[in-house]
Amino acid sequence: MLAGVSDGGTVSVPVIGHVVCAGFPSPAQDYVEGNVELPRWMAPNPAFTFLFKVGGYSMIKARIFPGDLLIVDRSITPANRHIVVVDIDGERSVKRLLMKGGRVRFAFENDDFPSFPMAEHTEYLIFGVATGIYRRLYEAKHETKR
């Protein structure tokens, strides 16, 4: 079991490290960089929840920034407008899921990024739905007393 429940109403959720591979690693022990304690309300399905490190600026209009840890739940069925972690033709990314008339599209949340057309036979696999963000607002400066 990758996630566990503590006595204080928190759950231990694995942080999945960046792994270069053809596809996205399942949250197996080999890819876990560590665990973070979250309140149960932030990870109600701890066995299906992991933190995904965000890089890049493609989702800033959704308030997702480089360095954030995205809370991703694999037990949620993806729906229109959800933010998802997806593997598109072997590349892992975070995108907005758009579904219309039986067609699936993935969109950036940054006006500086052009939309990209997805060919009809593009392979994709949605790994989970983003449910929250774990973020540090600033680095505290440690001052020495004189």
Task: Indicate if 58 belongs to the active site.
Answer: yes
Task: Indicate if 26 belongs to the active site.
Answer: no
Amino acid at 103: R
From the list 6, 12, 58, 115, the catalytic residue is 58
The DSSP H or E segment spanning 33 is strand 32-39
Q: What is the Cα–Cα distance from 76 to 38, expressed in whole angstroms?
A: 18
From the list 6, 26, 61, 95, the catalytic residue is 95
Q: How many CA atoms lie within 13 A of 129 on its CB side?
A: 14
Report the SS3 class of residue 114: coil
Q: Tokens 């996205």 — which residue? A: 24
Q: 74's torsion region: left (phi>0), alpha (psi -120 to 50) or beta? A: alpha
Catalytic residues: 58, 95
